[in-house]
Amino acid sequence: MIRLLRIEFRKLKPYKAFWVMLIFYTVLLAIMVFGIPGLIDWVAEKSGDSKIRIFKAIVFNFPDIWQNIAFVASLRIFIKMILGLIVIVLITNEFSNLTIRSNIISGLSRGEFLTGKILLLAALTIFSTIIIFLSGLYLGFTNSSSKDISDVFGKMSFLGGYFIELFIFLAFALFIGILFRKTGFSIIILFAYSIIELILDYKLPDSFSPYLPLNAMNNIIRSPNTSLIKLKSPGFNFDFQEAISFADVGIALVWVTIFISLSYFLLKKRDI
């Protein structure tokens, strides 16, 4: 596994476009994470309403911050789409530049080629999760009244949920890239399907909705949550998600198994 990951990073090292896109993603993610509290402060200053600042303290309070920050970072057709585009560019370039053919001729099996790409997806997912974790620590310590270990690391399961969701989304992007092989067309398909599924979600019965691929991923972290809002608004009628559902994770893991299996089937059966 280490050998395959080294091969992937050896390919990426001279690839300036990848590093530019990755830096762009990192900056965009940081702007999103730190821009929200800044926006709340700006609105509070302009409106003169101190309650808005209280809202910021509630949203970015330990332990609820982990659920809230993971929810925002995992929104459909949002920041994670940038990583999806990076994955598509990387895999389609393997076909257009015939790098995959060179790898296979050099002795790499098709299964090892795919495993290397899956390890790269995991590395990108870990990288994104670490950014969310460090951002959550900073914002949490800045805005939380309690610094107890139980509060700081409470609800950390939502970071695990974010990791699973993002990895499955990148596996979906990988599958699209392997299926269509052309960068521009694959990107269009990724965006188009995101919109198509929204339409399907509206048209199909509610009982079928959780089993659509992107819905299955997004259902892992369905909503933000704050204990203080529920405490102060007992009559507020909203279905707050309290924890990660094993059923939701199970459905999503079925989809990642399908994406990876189909990717392997395509690599095995098609000419390269």
Give the model confidence (pLDDT) of 127-144 as tens digits: 999 999 998 998 888 887
pLDDT value of residue 105: 86
Range of the domain at 126: 2-269
CA of 82: how far to CAs of 17, 23, 170, in Å?
Answer: 13, 11, 10
- Asked if 38 and 126 touch (Cβ cutoff 8 Å), the reply is no
Give exposure, 53-62, as e/b (b: 16+ Cβ within 10 Å). bebbbbbbbb
Average pLDDT, the chain: 86
Beta strand ranges found along the chain (DSSP E)? none
Quote the pTM value: 0.90
Q: How far apart are CA 131 and CA 74, in angstroms?
A: 13
pLDDT value of residue 227: 61
How many structural domains are present in the chain? Answer: 1
